[in-house]
Amino acid sequence: MAQPQPVKILEVCRVCPPPDLAGFAAPKFLPLTFFDLHWLRLPRLQRIFFYEISSPSHEHFFDSVIPKLKHSLSLTLHHFLPVAANLTWPQHSRKPILNYVDGDGVSLIIAESNSDFYHLSGNDFRKATDYHPLLPHLEISKERAKVMALQVTVFPNCGISIGFTSHHAVLDVIEDPRGAEEVYLNAWLNHDGPNNRSLMVMEFEVPPGSVRGTFELSREKIEKLKKSVFVNIDEPKHGVVHKSTFSVICGYTWVCIAKALKIKEKEAMFVFSADCRSRLKPILPATYFGNCIQGCLVVVETESLLGEVGVSVAVEAISKAVKRLEDGVINGGLETWISISKAMQSNNQRPVFVASSPRFEVYNTDFGWGRPRMTEVISIEKTGAISLSDSRNGNGGIEIGLVLKIEEMETFASLFAHGVQVL
């Protein structure tokens, strides 16, 4: 007997900015800049929000929820018109452009699922592939790429999920102080080139048997972890180390992953993105909307990382990388991005990346149903990244999400739990 499909597609539509507002003075032609160009062919970004709703009946879902969401999305596109645009790279254009014409919009899928809502939005290990039916496909070809697609899925009498897939190379307007734009453009043109203007993004397969896990560190555990880590760092010898929550959580997670994966390479690599808004001249406001991040590559000897004080080694290395940003986020950043891109395409061990940030406060994303029950960065399953977010409990803690093979995940979970239990 055929197995029932976990998701039934009920409607596929396109939501456009309001026709009576589409002619307002926002730019309809937007060239990409250097902060965008790094992401041009890197994997799509995918995230899901789960909301628990007491009685999302089929009738209520279609008569009330969906019309409001469509209307809200349409009004939002009025203010963020490039999201409805198409990314192209014409022969006459020196670089890719976002181009909006009347009638462009965002693909929206409406679906219904009979999957276990509480399992998918819980903390137990979950199959990575279980989330794929809840995500929309983003249209990308060599000649044209959409910016974003959305899918709203109802779980009758349980809740709703909102999944989105987006192109990372959008929405920046920052001037280039070091000629990074030319370097990125030439690199992409010569990648499988010459003069390769393809917009196709890299595709990485999800390893078979992969599962998703979500782990939380409370504020109390984070503070205890800080104290235990910095006991082993000789600041008079190595200089003042920035005792941040970010460096401690990343260092601790990095060591647990390295041990779970039993890495053999001589050096281990860790990559995080720094927020450049307050580090540029002039400083950009916190409300700036667009790519404005700089990649930071951290490299340590694997033997040290796996050693008795490995967490302290990792935290110190990450902290020093953060401190180097004080000299300017652009200085040296160009070479770093190129090194990271090469590492991503290598057949050897990839770096551990960090996706998202607690600063986004994703658990404050309220569409009228309160805080999300769960939100996950799904795209980390293909890049080997970990995701960081604020805690759903609102207690000042941090959530860490990752995808590993089941045996590796079980080892990671044991290491992660043991390390904080003995504090």
Give pLDDT, residue 355.
92
- Which option is the CATH number for 7-190: 3.30.450.20, 3.30.559.10, 3.40.50.720, 3.10.290.10? 3.30.559.10
Residues in the chain: 423
Give pLDDT, residue 284.
79
The 3-state DSSP class for residue 376 equals strand
What proportion of the chain, given as a percentage, has pLDDT over 70? 86
Other CB atoms within 10 A of residue 252 CB: 26
Mean pLDDT of 249-268: 94
Residue 149 bridge partners (DSSP):
107, 165
Sheet holding 106-113, edge to edge: 7-15, 106-113, 148-155, 159-166, 45-52, 374-377
Give pLDDT, residue 1.
42
Give pLDDT, residue 181.
80
Other CB atoms within 10 A of residue 321 CB: 20
- What does pLDDT average to over the chain? 86
168 is catalytic: yes
Q: Does residue 359 register a pLDDT over 50?
A: yes
Domain boundaries, the chain: 7-190, 210-421
Residue 402 is inside which H or E element, if any?
Answer: strand 398-405
Other CB atoms within 10 A of residue 127 CB: 16
| Residue 12 in tokens | 């596929």
Give pLDDT, residue 346.
58
132 is catalytic: no
Give pLDDT, residue 228.
87
What pTM does this model have?
0.88
Confidence of residue 298 (pLDDT cuts 50, 70, 90): very high
What's the rounded Cα separation, in Å, for the pair 236 and 387? 33
Out of 63, 119, 366, 418, pick the active-site residue.
366
**Local structure of residue 378 (DSSP, 8 states):** T
Secondary structure, 3-state, 17-54:
CCCCCCCCCCCCEEECCHHHHCCCCCCCEEEEEEEECC
Strand 293-301 and strand 148-155: the pairing is: unpaired
Out of 168, 172, 191, 390, pick the active-site residue.
168
Instruction: Quote the radius of gyration of the chain (alpha carbons, Å).
Output: 22
Q: Does residue 138 register a pLDDT over 70?
A: yes
Q: Which residues neighbour 207 within 8 Å (Cβ) at sequence distance 6 or greater?
A: 405
Give pLDDT, residue 33.
79
The 3-state DSSP class for residue 124 equals coil
Question: 398 or 31, which is more confident?
Answer: 398
CB 403, CB 204: distance < 8 Å: no
Question: 345 or 15, which is more confident?
Answer: 15
Residue 310 is inside which H or E element, if any?
Answer: helix 310-324
Phi, psi torsion values for 321, nearest 5 degrees: -65, -40
Residue 319 is inside which H or E element, if any?
Answer: helix 310-324
Q: Does residue 314 register a pLDDT over 50?
A: yes
Mean pLDDT of 312-328: 84
Give pLDDT, residue 62.
83
| Residue 295 in tokens | 């990649």
Instruction: Extract long-range pairs of 333-338: CB within 8 Å, 24+ residues apart.
Output: 333/180, 333/294, 333/295, 334/178, 334/180, 334/183, 336/294, 336/295, 336/296, 336/297, 337/38, 337/180, 337/184, 337/294, 337/295, 338/183, 338/187
Query: May I ask the CATH architecture of the domain 210-421?
Result: 2-Layer Sandwich (3.30)
CA 270 to chain centre: 15
What's the rounded Cα separation, in Å, for the pair 114 and 155? 6
Q: Does residue 238 register a pLDDT over 60?
A: no
What's the rounded Cα separation, in Å, for the pair 320 and 323? 5
Confidence of residue 327 (pLDDT cuts 50, 70, 90): low
Confidence of residue 118 (pLDDT cuts 50, 70, 90): very high
